[in-house]
Amino acid sequence: MTTPQATMPGGPGTRIQGFRSSVASTNAAPIYLVLLAIFLAAWVIVSLAGRPFLTIDNLTSMLVRSVALGIVAAGQTVVILAGSLDLSVAYLISVAALVSSLIMSGDPSKIGIAIAAVLGIGVVVGLTNGLLVTKLRINAFIATLGVGLILRGLLNAAFDNFAGKVAPEFEVLGYGSIGPIPLSVLLLSATVLGVWFLLRSTRFGHHVYAVGGSEETARLSGVRSHRIIIGAHILCCLTAVLTGLFLVARIRAGAPWIGPDGGYDLESIAAVVVGGTALAGGRGGVWGTLAGVFILAIIDNAFNALQFNSFVKDVVRGVIIIAAVAIYAQRERRAGR
């Protein structure tokens, strides 16, 4: 927690109050209870069905599954907090996977160039999204949808199968581990911690919340709201690129369907809203998103274990997303009364 209370009278009391208010403002606590409940429910149900759930293997696989979505959802959290959103990430993930695997073509010496190149692409796409939203004042939904369609068109026109090949050393990112901890989990942790720190402790982060809360208020207070929104879009696209790199390290070659098949655009938004971040921006945080990612992963895992038809998953996912947003909307409505 922060320190200013220490200078104030009434030490412990204020500390608790401060802790409460900051936790309440992230809305993260209740969602972790929900996560726990879902975890326990899945455990019981899957175990009753005689399938493994609480095994190291299964837990690890759940974690690794969460990595790809978790990284991009962390970025998506930032754009949504800033009052925007990004629907282009799924195709950007494919672009990152394809371009990096094409540049590497199995050559370890090109790993650096490949990573630099796709990060550059991420910056360009994020910048484009941000400029469309701020300077041309195009509704974020439409702007990023449009950019996504452009990327999809170009991808599908140029590729219809796997292309390129990552360097074997690069696969470490997808399969390596340090001690018992998979490298990919560390990657996710680093991303989430990084975004958390950014939002909590930097001026950029503070301004993201302010712009999402009220762009006009932020602007009149001297915040460069356009720069903040553009920055949030760039950050989100960089996380999408990171997800693309992770996925291509696991799949070993890029393909145009990697992103869209994972549904990373809608899934990442779903994880963010399930995690309690307001779609309108200004309220929430990356820890909630992480819980949202885990919830989606557990449900996915349980359905797989129970050998449910994949279409059931779609239905349930749709219902969960609507229900989550509806519950938050109702709570908001009651709080506003």
Instruction: Report the site for another protein in 235-264 (rule: CB under 8 A).
Output: none
Q: Which is nearer to another protein, 129 or 184 (CB)?
A: 129
The piece of 38-46, 53-61, 183-191, 313-321 that touches another protein (CB under 8 A) is 313-321
What span, in angstroms and rounded, lies between the C-alpha atoms of 123 and 167?
24
84 touches 281 (CB < 8 A): yes
Site for another protein in 270-299 (CB under 8 A): 273, 279, 282-283
The amino acid that residue 305 corresponds to is A
What span, in angstroms and rounded, lies between the C-alpha atoms of 200 and 28?
14
Q: Which two tokens stand for residue 236?
A: 């989100």
Candidates 63, 121, 150, 250: give the one binding another protein (CB under 8 A). 150
Candidates 90, 98, 218, 238: give the one binding another protein (CB under 8 A). 218
Site for another protein in 219-238 (CB under 8 A): 219-224
The piece of 32-40, 64-72, 140-148, 293-301 that touches another protein (CB under 8 A) is 140-148
125 touches 88 (CB < 8 A): yes
* CB crowding 51-77: b at 16 or more within 10 Å, else e: eebeeeebebebbbbbbbbbbbbbbbb
Candidates 113, 142, 172, 181: give the one binding another protein (CB under 8 A). 142
Q: Which is nearer to another protein, 63 or 150 (CB)?
A: 150
- Residue 167 sits at the vertex; the CA angle it makes with 166 and 168, to the nearest 5 degrees, is 110
Question: What does the radius of gyration of the chain's CA atoms come to, in whole angstroms?
Answer: 20
Site for another protein in 20-39 (CB under 8 A): 21-22, 24-25
Instruction: Give the shortest CB-140-to-another protein separation in angstroms.
Output: 11
Q: Which is nearer to another protein, 154 or 172 (CB)?
A: 154
What span, in angstroms and rounded, lies between the C-alpha atoms of 24 and 18?
10
Kindly tell me the burial class for residue 206, based on how many C-beta atoms sit within 10 Å of its own C-beta (0-12, 13-18, 19 or more). middle
Instruction: Give the shortest CB-44-to-another protein separation in angstroms.
Output: 24
Site for another protein in 44-83 (CB under 8 A): none
Q: Which two tokens stand for residue 123?
A: 């910056």
What span, in angstroms and rounded, lies between the C-alpha atoms of 126 and 26?
26
How many residues sit in the footprint of another protein (CB under 8 A)?
Answer: 77
Candidates 16, 17, 47, 116: give the one binding another protein (CB under 8 A). 17
The piece of 6-14, 52-60, 119-127, 287-295 that touches another protein (CB under 8 A) is 6-14
- Coil vs helix vs strand at 223: coil
Instruction: Give the shortest CB-46-to-another protein separation in angstroms.
Output: 21
The piece of 68-76, 168-176, 293-301, 329-337 that touches another protein (CB under 8 A) is 329-337
Q: Which two tokens stand for residue 209?
A: 């919340």
Candidates 124, 193, 217, 261: give the one binding another protein (CB under 8 A). 217
Candidates 83, 126, 130, 148: give the one binding another protein (CB under 8 A). 148
Q: Which two tokens stand for residue 186?
A: 């560390």
